[in-house]
Chain A
Amino acid sequence: MVRFKNRYVLCEVVSEDPRCRQCIEDRALGLAVRDAIARVHGDYGLACCSISFTVKYLNAYTGTVLLRCRKDSYRLLCSALPFVRYLESRAQRYPCFLNTLHVGGTIRTCQKFLIQYNRTQLLRLLQNCTNEEERQCIQKSLLSCSLTEEQSQSGDEEEDDDTETD
Chain B
Amino acid sequence: MSGAREKKRAKKMRNQPASVTLPAEPGPFAGGGSRACPTPVSTFAQARAAEISAMLKAVSQKSSNSLVFQTLPRHMRRRAMSHNVKRLPRRLQEMARKEDLSYYCCLELKGKENELLKQLARICSIDTEPEEICISEPVTTSIQEEEQVEVMSLGNKRKKEDKEGEKAVPVKKIIGDGTRDPFQSYSWISQTTGITIRYIVFQEMADSETGLNNWWVENCKDSEKVSLHQCQSAVFELLEGLSSPSDMPPGTILGLTVGDPRVNLPKKKTKAMPDFEKYQDNDEVRQLYLKGVPADCAHSFIWDHDICKNVTENKISEQIYQGVRVGGLQEALKHSEYQRTPHTPNDFPDCRAGMQFAKELETSLLEKFKRRPPAKRANYVKLGTLSPFICPWGQLTKNWEERMKASGGLLCPSSPHPDCCTTEGQTLCDPKAEVVRKASPENGEAEETMEITSSEGALKTEDVTSTQDFGERDETKTSDFIVLRLMELLEAHICNLRTIAVKIILHSLHKNHHRSEKLLMQLSAWCYPTAGKDRRIRLISRLGQKEMTEDVFLPILMSYPRALIWVNLSLLRKGNPELHAMICIPTEDDLLHLSKDKLFCGPQEPKHRDIFKDKVQKQKEEKKKKKKDNVKSLESDPAGIPDEEATEDHEDFILGLWSDALPDVTSHCSRTVLGYVTRGDFSLAVGCGEALGFVSLTGLIYMLHNQPADKKGLVLLRTPASLQYRFARLNIEV
Chain A contact residues, CB within 8 Å of chain B:
18-19, 21-22, 24-26, 55, 57-62, 64, 107-108, 111-112, 114-115, 118-119, 121-122, 125, 129, 134, 137-138, 141-142, 144-145, 147, 151-152, 155-156, 158-165
Whether A59 contacts B45 by the Cβ 8 Å rule is no
Whether B45 contacts A163 by the Cβ 8 Å rule is no
Residue in A59, A141, A155, A163 whose beta carbon sits within 8 Å of that of B12 in the complex? A163
Whether A155 contacts B57 by the Cβ 8 Å rule is yes
Whether A163 contacts B42 by the Cβ 8 Å rule is no
Whether B66 contacts A118 by the Cβ 8 Å rule is no
Q: Which residue of A lies closest to B67 (CB)?
A: A161
Q: How far is the CA of A62 from the CA of B45 in the complex (A)?
A: 9
Interface residues of B in 517-540 (CB under 8 A from A): none
Q: How far is the CA of A58 from the CA of B18 in the complex (A)?
A: 8
B15 at the interface (CB under 8 A from A): yes
Given contact pairs A147-B56, A160-B62, enumerate 6 new A-B contacts (beta carbons under 8 Å): A21-B22, A22-B25, A141-B49, A142-B49, A155-B60, A158-B61
Q: Using a Cβ cutoff of 8 Å, how many contacts connect chains A and B? A: 130
Whether A111 contacts B59 by the Cβ 8 Å rule is yes
Chain A residues positioned under 8 Å from B63 (CB to CB): 108, 163, 165
Interface residues of B in 27-62 (CB under 8 A from A): 31, 37, 39-53, 55-62
Whether A61 contacts B17 by the Cβ 8 Å rule is no
From known contacts A108-B63, A134-B39, infer whether A64 and B51 are also in contact, taking CB-CB under 8 Å. Answer: yes
A49 to chain B, nearest CB (A): 21
Chain B residues positioned under 8 Å from A141 (CB to CB): 42, 45-46, 48-49
The 4 closest A-B pairs by CB, nearest first: A61-B47, A141-B49, A145-B49, A145-B52
A-B contact pairs, 19 of them (CB 8 A): A57-B18, A58-B19, A59-B47, A61-B51, A62-B48, A64-B51, A108-B58, A114-B52, A115-B56, A118-B48, A137-B45, A138-B41, A141-B45, A145-B50, A156-B60, A158-B61, A162-B64, A163-B13, A163-B64
Whether B62 contacts A159 by the Cβ 8 Å rule is yes
Chain B residues positioned under 8 Å from A125 (CB to CB): 41, 44-45, 48
Chain A residues positioned under 8 Å from B53 (CB to CB): 144-145, 147
Whether B41 contacts A129 by the Cβ 8 Å rule is yes
Residue in A18, A57, A118, A161 whose beta carbon sits within 8 Å of that of B37 in the complex? A18
Chain B contact residues, CB within 8 Å of chain A:
11-13, 15-22, 24-25, 31, 37, 39-53, 55-66
Interface of chain A, main secondary structure = helix
A157 to chain B, nearest CB (A): 10
Q: Which residue of A lies closest to B42 (CB)?
A: A137
Chain B residues positioned under 8 Å from A62 (CB to CB): 44, 47-48, 51
Chain B residues positioned under 8 Å from A156 (CB to CB): 60, 62
Whether A152 contacts B41 by the Cβ 8 Å rule is no
Chain B residues positioned under 8 Å from A112 (CB to CB): 55, 59
Chain B residues positioned under 8 Å from A119 (CB to CB): 52
Chain B residues positioned under 8 Å from A134 (CB to CB): 39, 41-42
Q: How far is the CA of A165 from the CA of B13 in the complex (A)?
A: 10
Q: How far is the CA of A161 from the CA of B25 in the complex (A)?
A: 40
Q: How far is the CA of A58 from the CA of B58 in the complex (A)?
A: 15
